[in-house]
Structure 1
């Protein structure tokens, strides 16, 4: 039974997704309404926690307003934990999140890893290597998001878990490569320090040099390996979920193309895929079926892996 509180909460989750996660939003539009609202609920929880850390001045009614980021994140985590245990919250967004997660029987352990990763952002600003970044941070901030979304997508096989985790990693690595300047503004570098040193690249210079181009080209190749791994999971999803995930994969991976087209300049402004392109891909997917991630119109190039680069 959907109460007025839940209807309000799910509507607010959809608004948050449309405002801050347009790729998720347009991908989820290809799902039946019952699944769509659950995608929005997972996204909203993650967005609100992330904003406490990254945008502390942006205070949503759904999150605690008192204290610094560490105190607010801890309070939000406890609110979530207690609401999930009770199965209820008086706050609309949290009520929707709890309703969704309990219906989908999402493993609560996923959220322990997620909140632990969010807390790391308050103390860590650099990462020594790709393996440290992937396993020490992205495991809880990205791979686990793929696990959270999987019950909503109703996979046909448990084997879909590995590609779902790869897609979470792929999405976040794309964010890291696109948002270098924004992260620098926050005093953070989500780039492997050993790879930067090997190329002689310094993001703090905020300029495109031959060293920076070589470094970023290598990271983009690594990112495309992850998209390749994620695409293997598409046949393991039912048609509607395949369209949703395939569309999101295509749209997010196009950011990499646009970084290349901008000559690896991620400092001058945020690189975006236009809204009309997102809508066009979503509509074509709805009419023609799940997009082939490697077909020419998709514009994702086969991964060319420089020597020494692994996923």
Structure 2
């Protein structure tokens, strides 16, 4: 793994203040998304790592602002944040480190600006989200918010050709991942009162909100988890098509991203109806095996490319 200082050098980030701001984002991402941070550092080419970190930090910062408090508090926080971000984009400068790093990343990846604007356009869907009545509502949420949020990072790995196929593949992956998040975080979401499983799915299986809030791990909930897990697996399997669309140097990262989601899905399936009492995540050992395998693949490519 290339040192962080060399990654900054190879990305052309030389100004002391910029290096400090990027380093601050690195520390934040390493704290709140350890597995993803490890994958980025181990599997992606060093020159693109700082910009991936900057985009990830921006997404996390934004999501935190609009995911806390009451609906009115979330709306007020988003209004202030959107104004600040758009002013930074239009003026080309920002004092806040997370925005300063983002603006610098945009100078190397102009497509990132459009993705930031698309993300801001769709963020009200997250601000006002309280739950879903139907599957159509969930898909609209993914289209408006989850997909643009993922594309903040994914656009930095986009192929020069097959852009439409790549965007569609990212949409398939993030819908499966979002559905998986809603299952894995069922107990936590119940505590906040914002459930990610549509009401029509609950009704079809005879699962009531009252039973969920009471922590009842009934057979009907187990059937619901199995049904949704099968749907998620279909999406993740299709997502491996992204591997062939990106440049060879980025394939280990994409492959690891999908594989680790499959490990998460397996953990969710094993917990089943017990998800109502607590979240489920993949084995750390299994995740490390995936990263180690793909790290070897990344090193093989690097040696071949530089020899």
Same fold (TM over 0.5): yes
C-alpha distance in structure 2 between counterparts of 1:170 and 1:223, whole Å: 5
Q: Is the 8 A contact 1:41 1:97 kept in 2?
A: yes
The match for 1:50 is: 63
Task: State the TM-score, normalizing by the size of structure 2.
Answer: 0.83
Question: Which of 291, 299, 307 matches 1:282?
Answer: 291
- Aligned-pair CA distance for 1:24: 2.2
- Aligned-pair CA distance for 1:109: 4.4
**Residues 117 and 191 of structure 1: CA distance in aligned 2, closer, same or farther (over 3 Å):** farther
The match for 2:157 is: 153
Q: Is the 8 A contact 1:115 1:140 kept in 2?
A: no
Question: Which of 61, 67, 85 matches 2:90?
Answer: 85
**Gap runs ≥5 in structure 2:** 1-12, 300-307
Q: Is the 8 A contact 2:122 2:148 kept in 1?
A: no
- Aligned-pair CA distance for 1:116: 4.5
**Residues 168 and 238 of structure 1: CA distance in aligned 2, closer, same or farther (over 3 Å):** same
Q: Which has the higher helix share?
A: 2
Question: Which of 107, 125, 132 matches 2:130?
Answer: 125
C-alpha distance in structure 2 between counterparts of 1:283 and 1:40, whole Å: 21
Q: Which aligned pairs between 1:168-183 and structure 2 lie closer than 5 A?
A: 168-183=174-189
Task: State the TM-score, normalizing by the size of structure 1.
Answer: 0.82
The match for 2:202 is: 196
- Aligned-pair CA distance for 1:83: 0.9
Report the RMSD for the aligned CA atoms in angstroms: 2.3
**Residues 205 and 77 of structure 1: CA distance in aligned 2, closer, same or farther (over 3 Å):** same
**Gap runs ≥5 in structure 1:** 58-66, 291-311
C-alpha distance in structure 1 between counterparts of 2:279 and 2:254, whole Å: 24
**Residues 155 and 23 of structure 1: CA distance in aligned 2, closer, same or farther (over 3 Å):** farther
**Residues 43 and 279 of structure 1: CA distance in aligned 2, closer, same or farther (over 3 Å):** same
The match for 2:234 is: 225
Structure 1, 27-36 or 67-76: larger mean CA deviation: 67-76
